[in-house]
Amino acid sequence: MQARLLNTAAEKTEADALIVPIVEGQTSVPAEAQALDKKLKGAIGQLLKDREFRGKFMELVPVHNLNNAASKWTVLVGVGKLDQLDMVRLRNALQAAGRVLRKRGHRRVAIVLPKEVAARASAADLARAATEGIGLSNFDVGSLKTRHDHAVTQIDSLSLIGLNGDRNATQALKDAVALTDATNRIREWVNAPANAFTPAVFADKVKESVKGTALDLKVLDVDDMRRLKMGALLAVARGSDEPAKMIVLRYSGGRKNGPNLALVGKGITFDSGGISIKPAQNMEMMKSDMGGGAAVVGAMLAIAELKPKINVIGIVPTTENMPSGKAIKPGDVVTGSGGKTIEIINTDAEGRLILSDGITYAVNEGATHIVDIATLTGSIMRTLGPLAIGAFGNDQGLMDLVRRAADLAGERIWELPTWADYDGLIESEIADIKNSTVPWAGATTAALFLREFVDGRPWVHLDIAGSAWQDASELKTVPKGPTGSGVRVMAHLAQLLAGH
């Protein structure tokens, strides 16, 4: 998608659809659309006055311009109550609108931002939210359908009216295009069925996508893992016939002794639970258990475009988690690459096992800051639902930066505790630590396990088990399917750490 800032008048803007966001309860035409309304003989004003369009969140009414304006349609989009309007909601409203417009075959979209809406954030934040909202609408889960009853049209150009001249907005818009492109690309991967997206395919897709970028790729195979004594990753991989891989991406944009950010993502291409097998209900969702790993790759692709002055390493251990005659069993003890012995109580707590070897790799590579991201626990899903990332950490400064990055990304994150009083949860009677325990505080337990491997370095763990995939039909504001959660957060974090 192409995007630009424009300073044409609304009625003179060429587009298939010109979006006018309307706040709930607004009964008069926004100043920026009054000349347009005149050309339309007062059609917009009439709709608002008669309360036929109320500005309710995600409400949408198209008005045909009948050649009276440069755009074909005027599209009123409700953004809900003004006091609830933040950039997360603006993104969601525009994403929903974008999906409707695509179904209607519109390719060229313009948005005129009324001052009521524009007053809610800086020009840069508005440009980001609007561009990403429309950009993220360019995705469908139905790419394997042979009969396309779903939207196939893409919105390929976006014009934003009313922010022209703001340098930060220009940059934000440019970055937003790169960020949504990277996000949509990996949403495709998360959506792919596990038979079409094995660890080897994952590595191949990454290889393909880094061509022509500034990223350096290395793929470790099982022999490399053995040489590096990655006993935890290998333990999970044992049960599967698909060879495990570890994808390592490097972006070198900073000084040698500057910060070295490591992003470590869980790449389980299918999680059956292993011998501690999962119930059949919803098991098909476990094709998306590589969402964290995909998000790391997405972030690296975006970082390669944004070019922050910092070094970043992306690490994605990837394998299936399957039951078989070779699979690990509850009670087994394995040794990770850092030398710690781990008692495997539950083979379904596999994410923390493979991440532990990924994190150790990051430490050995000289990471100064570590962020891991994973669809790690049902517990976080039950706690936060699909609308927030759960965050855990050991360093206030890094946590604050991650929060700022999430704000920029328009993603909600919520911090949960790692109090020392919970330390006993991961103590094993026969080994250094165990991978599963009591049936409560599950997301915290997983975080405490991971913390054992970060060598005391500043670290944040992002649990995206809820946010990576949206499927609650009760929630209408976010489209169903893979969300790309975390991609933009991590890319913004790299920029913030670099001092941008």
Could you write out the three-class secondary structure of 41-77?
A: CCHHHHHHHCCCCCCCCCCEEEEECCCCCCEEEEEEE
List the end-to-end C-alpha distance of the chain, in Å, as a whole number: 25
> Are the C-beta atoms of residues 304 and 214 closer than 8 Å to each other?
yes
CA-CA distance, 98 to 111, in Å (whole number)?
11
Q: How far apart are CA 453 and CA 361, in angstroms?
A: 10
Q: Does 265 bind ligand BES (CB under 6 A)?
A: no
Of the ranges 233-241, 275-283, 286-294, 300-308, which one interacts with Zn ion (CB under 5 A)? 286-294
Q: Are 386 and 467 in contact (CB under 8 A)?
A: yes
Q: Closest separation between CB of residue 336 and Zn ion, Å?
A: 17
Q: Which stretch binds Mn ion (CB under 5 A): 24-32, 232-240, 267-275, 307-315?
A: 267-275
271 touching ligand BES, by CB under 6 A: yes
d(CA 458, CA 299): 19
Active-site pick, 185, 352, 457, 488: 352
Instruction: Provide, rounded to whole angstroms, the least separation between the CB of residue 377 and Mn ion.
Output: 9
If one asks whether residue 348 binds ligand BES (CB under 6 A), the answer comes out as yes
**Do the Cβ atoms of 16 and 110 come closer than 8 Å?**
no
**Interface with Zn ion, residue 458, by CB under 5 A:** no
CA angle 306–191–89, rounded 5-degree value: 60
Footprint (CB under 6 A) of ligand BES, residues 367-396:
375-379, 381
- Tell me if 348 contacts Mn ion by CB under 5 A: yes
Give the gyration radius of the chain's Cα atoms: 24
344 vs 460 by CB, closer to ligand BES: 344
Q: Can you state the angle between helices 396-409 and 487-497, rounded to 10 degrees?
A: 120
Both structure tokens of 384: 């936060």
Which positions from 441 through 480 interact with ligand BES, judged by CB under 6 A?
A: 442, 465
CB of 274 to ligand BES, least distance (A): 9
* Interface positions, 287-306, toward ligand BES (CB under 6 A): 289
* Residue 267 in contact with ligand BES, rule: CB under 6 A: no
Q: Which does 436 bind (CB under 5 to 8 A by kind): ligand BES, Zn ion, Mn ion, none?
A: ligand BES
Residue 81 is among the residues annotated as catalytic for this protein: no
Is-catalytic flag, 147? no
Stretch that binds Mn ion, among 60-68, 87-95, 268-276, 430-438 (CB under 5 A): 268-276
Residue 24: Cβ within 10 Å count = 17
Of 351, 358, 484, 486, the residue at the interface with Zn ion (CB under 5 A) is 351
Find the shortest distance in angstroms from Cβ 344 to ligand BES.
Answer: 11
Phi, psi for 153 (deg, rounded to 5)? -65, 140
Min separation Cβ 345 and Mn ion, Å: 12
Report d(CA 153, CA 44) in Å as an integer.
Answer: 27
Task: List, by residue number, the catalytic residues.
Answer: 278, 352
Where do contacts with ligand BES occur on this chain (CB under 6 A)?
Answer: 271, 289, 346, 348-351, 375-379, 381, 436, 442, 465
Where do contacts with Zn ion occur on this chain (CB under 5 A)?
Answer: 268, 271, 289, 351
